[in-house]
């Protein structure tokens, strides 16, 4: 561990889930200390086979995001993908174990097998948008965007409002309510319905999808029992996605649900390959889970900042802005990684071909060169420059519009019903070195 | 930000961050589409045909004006 200066603010242990689990204040102090002292920094995580570059500044991350020809997404997307394969091999499927057994693999190739292995759920033909580069990435993304097109999202406004009102009606005033498992369920309920999961399966499907979120981050420090628990749930999730897709393909994909749209879509002139189609289904379902996390952070931030909540009650037109401010303040994705395709100079440092680069979104979102009063939660903040929480460029989050739309409608409805709420107990967060969410958020709502 | 001074009106605009790094703005949906198509034609002519109104509105966000 390196320290910034004699005042000994410890710099972040980027690979360690415990670093992200601490209180936000010391965590952001550590991130700021490194950002100000070494904005482009070579970090060597203990036990990793090689180091990686940490990019802390908004401007540098924008450069990487807008140059996919210089920074590839094929060779890993999260810090854990760079773990020593020997330490995570037990979390990978057979095909990935065999691939990693080959001789003379580069660090980048090992990262690709680890990253693809954890996402694949055993299927070697699995192909995720997140691990692809242009021009293929553009072709894959265009299929996904046809399913999640803006006109569809707009047409869903009425249905989102209905579901939101249904869930909010179940919340009793003055009674302790866990937001995560009540109002927080709305996006998952919506996404399972949109995807085409039958009503009787939806609750179980949401549970399985939550486990899949944990599987996205590979972590050498995860204990064996937890690995086994996650693997069991993820296998069930994957099997069900396979079944759903097979059913839609067999019926010609005639329905309006997203699984049907994918079943009848074409990719490069042929039906969408199975490994790709299944990754789309995962993406739809994961969107429900990440939006649940976003909603929970909004609810928590508004409980912690009653003045800001009152402002939203007076000015509901600010709710969309409040969603973006929460994304900046409490990012769901801590970071995203790329691999340099050639030598590139950033911030006076030479990043060599093959080097792994981590863009710390949580740092860019508090970059003093971009944000005034970066540590203040302000729902009236102007976003002339966007936060990094949905990423940037080709790989920006394909579900961003739907997430923003869901969240805005839900909080407009919630604030109209309950203009006031406060914390009824300590909130629970879950976190990995890649993603975070909330496991519980006890609130008491007031009319 | 305080409401102590009484009710405050907020002005909004549409913002689109082009992956090339340029930030595009428009006061209305029509304006952001027009500005974005003009930007595509001038700076990314090879991609201009790939983007329609829907794609642009998908990427644009309605936010507070500074």
- Tokens encoding A4: 């910034």
CB-based contacts of A424, cutoff 8 Å, min separation 6? A176, A177, A442, A443, A444
Least confident among A134-143, B24-33, B57-66 = B57-66
Measured between CA atoms, the residue of chain A closest to residue B18 is: A393
CB contact under 8 A, B64 and A382: yes
* pLDDT confidence of residue A315: 95
A376 vs chain B: nearest CA distance in angstroms?
A: 10
**Yes or no, beta carbons of A382 and B65 under 8 Å apart:** yes
Structure tokens at A74: 């094929």
**Kind of pairing between the strands at A428-431 and A266-267:** unpaired
Of A145, A383, A401, the CB nearest to B63: A383
**Nearest neighbour of B10 by CB, restricted to A62, A317, A386:** A317
Dist. CA B35–CA A378, nearest whole Å: 29
DSSP state, A352? Answer: P
Closest residue in chain B to residue A391, using alpha carbons only = B19
Residues A167, A170, A175, A180, CA torsion sign: negative
Q: How far apart are CA A387 and CA A76, in angstroms?
A: 22
Nearest to B64 among A65, A150, A380 (CB): A380
Query: Closest approach of chain B CAs to the CA of A401, in angstroms?
Result: 6
Which residues of chain A fall short of a pLDDT of 50? 1-4, 6
Which residues from B are below 8 Å from A when comparing CB atoms? Answer: 1-3, 7-8, 10, 12, 15, 17, 19-21, 23, 54-55, 57-58, 61-66
Cα of first residue to Cα of last residue in chain A, in angstroms, is 50
Q: What is the pLDDT of residue A35?
A: 98
Q: Which of A61, A108, A121 is nearest to A363 (CA)?
A: A61
Q: Mutate one of B5, B64, B65 to test the A interface: name it (highest A CB count within 10 A).
A: B64
Residue showing tokens 């907020």: B10
Q: Where are the domains of chain A?
A: 17-446
d(CA A177, CA A186): 15
Among A151, A311, A321, the residue with its CB nearest the CB of B63 is: A321
Q: Supply the angle between the helices A274-304 and A400-417 in degrees, to the nearest 10.
A: 30
**Nearest C-alpha neighbor of A438 from the set A293, A287, A290:** A293
Residue A4, pLDDT score? 46
Torsion angle defined by CA atoms of residues A434, A404, A64 and A1, in that order, rounded to the nearest 10 degrees: -30
Q: Is the Cβ–Cβ distance between A81 and A111 less than 8 Å?
A: yes
Q: Which residues of A412-429 are buried (b: 16+ CB within 10 A; e: fewer)?
A: bbbbeebebbebbeebeb
Handedness of CA A151, A152, A153, A154 (dihedral sign): positive
Q: Average model confidence (pLDDT) for chain B?
A: 83
User: Count of A–B CB contacts within 8 Å?
Assistant: 63
Tokens of A118: 């954890």
pLDDT value of residue A215:
79
Contact A407, A298 (CB under 8 A): yes
pLDDT of residue A403: 92
**Contact between B63 and A145 using a beta-carbon 8 Å cutoff:** no
**Alpha-helix residue ranges (DSSP H) falling in A10-147:** 17-21, 24-37, 58-65, 85-88, 94-100, 107-120, 136-147
Backbone angles phi, psi at A290, to 5 degrees: -70, -35
Residues of chain B positioned with their CB less than 8 A from the CB of A314: 3, 7
Indicate the Cα dihedral angle A38, A43, A46, A48, nearest 10°: 170
Mean pLDDT value across residues B3-13: 66
**CA of A64: which chain B residue's CA is closest?**
B19
CB pair distance less than 8 Å for A386 and B66: no
Residue of A66, A383, A393 lying closest to B15 (CB–CB): A383
Residue B51 pLDDT > 90, yes or no? no
Residues of A in contact with B64 (CB under 8 A): 318, 321, 380-383
* A123 Cβ contact partners less than 8 Å away, ≥ 6 residues apart: A93, A238, A274, A275, A278
Structure tokens at A119: 């996402």
Can you give the pLDDT at residue A221? 80
Write the residue in A150, A317, A320 that is nearest to B58 by C-beta.
A150
Fold type of domain A17-446 = Cytochrome p450 (1.10.630)
Smallest CA-to-CA distance from A434 within A236, A234, A232, A286 is with A286
3-state secondary structure string, A268-285? Answer: CCEECCHHHHHHHHHHHH
C-alpha pair distances (Å), A282 with each of A177, A242, A446? 29, 10, 37
Selected residue of A386, A394, A399 to mutate for chain B interface (largest B Cβ count, 10 A): A386
Percent of chain B exceeding pLDDT 70 equals 88
**Beta-carbon neighbour count of residue A176 at 10 Å?**
12
- Specify the pLDDT at position A5: 52
Q: What is the pLDDT of residue B4?
A: 43
> Which residues of chain A lie closer than 8 angstroms to B10, CB-CB?
315, 317-318, 380
Residue B56 clears pLDDT 60, i.e. is over it: yes
Return the pLDDT at A120.
Answer: 86
CA dist B15 and B31 (Å) reads 10
- Cross-chain Cβ contact A149/B58 below 8 Å: yes
Model confidence, pTM: 0.91
Residue A229's SS3 state is helix
The residue ranges of every structural domain in chain B are: 12-64
What pLDDT, on the 0 to 100 scale, is given for residue B8? 66
Residue A236 to residue A204: CA distance in whole angstroms: 10
| ipTM of model over 0.85 | no
Name the minimum distance, in Å, from the CA of B58 to any CA of chain A.
5
Instruction: Nearest by CB to A150, from B17, B57, B62: name it.
Output: B57
């Amino acid at each position: 561990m390196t320290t910034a200066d004699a005042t000994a603010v410890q710099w972040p242990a980027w690979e360690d889930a415990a670093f992200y689990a601490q209180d936000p204040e010391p965590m952001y102090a550590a991130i700021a200390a490194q950002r100000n002292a070494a904005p482009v920094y070579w970090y060597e995580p203990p036990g990793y086979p090689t180091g990686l570059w940490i990019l802390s500044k908004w401007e540098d991350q924008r450069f990487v995001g807008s140059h996919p020809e210089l920074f590839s997404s094929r060779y890993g997307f999260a810090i854990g993908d760079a773990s020593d394969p020997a330490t995570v091999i037990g979390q990978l499927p057979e095909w990935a174990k065999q691939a990693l057994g080959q001789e003379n693999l580069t660090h980048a190739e090992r990262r690709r097998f680890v990253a693809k292995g954890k996402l694949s759920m055993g299927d070697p033909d699995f192909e995720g948008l997140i691990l692809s580069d242009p021009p293929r990435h553009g072709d894959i993304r265009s299929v996904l965007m046809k399913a999640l097109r803006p006109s569809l999202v707009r047409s869903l406004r009425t249905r989102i409002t209905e579901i939101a009102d249904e869930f909010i009606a179940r919340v009793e005033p003055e009674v302790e309510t866990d937001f995560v498992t009540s109002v927080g369920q709305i996006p998952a309920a919506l996404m399972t319905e949109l995807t085409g999961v039958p009503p009787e399966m939806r609750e179980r499907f949401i549970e399985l999808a939550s486990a899949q979120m944990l599987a996205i981050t590979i972590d050498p420090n995860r204990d064996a029992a937890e690995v086994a628990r996650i693997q069991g749930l993820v296998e069930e999730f994957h099997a069900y996605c396979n079944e759903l897709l097979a059913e839609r393909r067999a019926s010609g994909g005639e329905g309006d649900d997203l699984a049907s749209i994918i079943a009848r879509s074409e990719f490069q002139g042929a039906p969408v390959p199975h490994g790709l189609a299944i990754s789309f289904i995962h993406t739809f379902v994961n969107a429900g889970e990440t939006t649940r996390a976003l909603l929970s952070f909004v609810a928590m931030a508004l409980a912690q900042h009653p003045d800001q909540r009152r402002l939203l009650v007076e000015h509901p037109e600010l709710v969309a802005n409040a969603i973006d401010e929460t994304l900046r303040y409490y990012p769901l994705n801590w970071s995203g990684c790329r691999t340099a395709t050639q030598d590139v100079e950033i911030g006076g440092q030479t990043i060599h071909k093959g080097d792994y680069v981590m863009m710390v979104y949580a740092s860019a979102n508090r970059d003093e060169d971009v944000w005034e009063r970066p540590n203040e939660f302000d729902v009236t903040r102007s976003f002339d420059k966007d936060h990094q929480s949905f990423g940037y460029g080709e790989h920006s989050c394909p579900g961003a519009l739907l997430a923003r739309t869901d969240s805005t409608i839900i909080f407009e409805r919630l604030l109209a019903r309950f203009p006031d709420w406060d914390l009824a107990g300590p909130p629970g967060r879950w976190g990995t070195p890649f993603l975070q969410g909330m496991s519980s958020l006890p609130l008491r709502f007031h009319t | 930000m305080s409401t102590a001074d009484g009710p405050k009106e907020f002005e909004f605009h549409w913002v689109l961050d082009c992956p090339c790094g340029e930030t595009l703005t428009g006061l209305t949906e029509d304006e952001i589409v027009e500005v974005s198509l003009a930007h595509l034609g001038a700076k990314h002519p090879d991609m201009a045909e790939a983007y329609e109104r829907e794609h642009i509105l998908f990427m644009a966000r309605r936010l507070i004006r500074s």
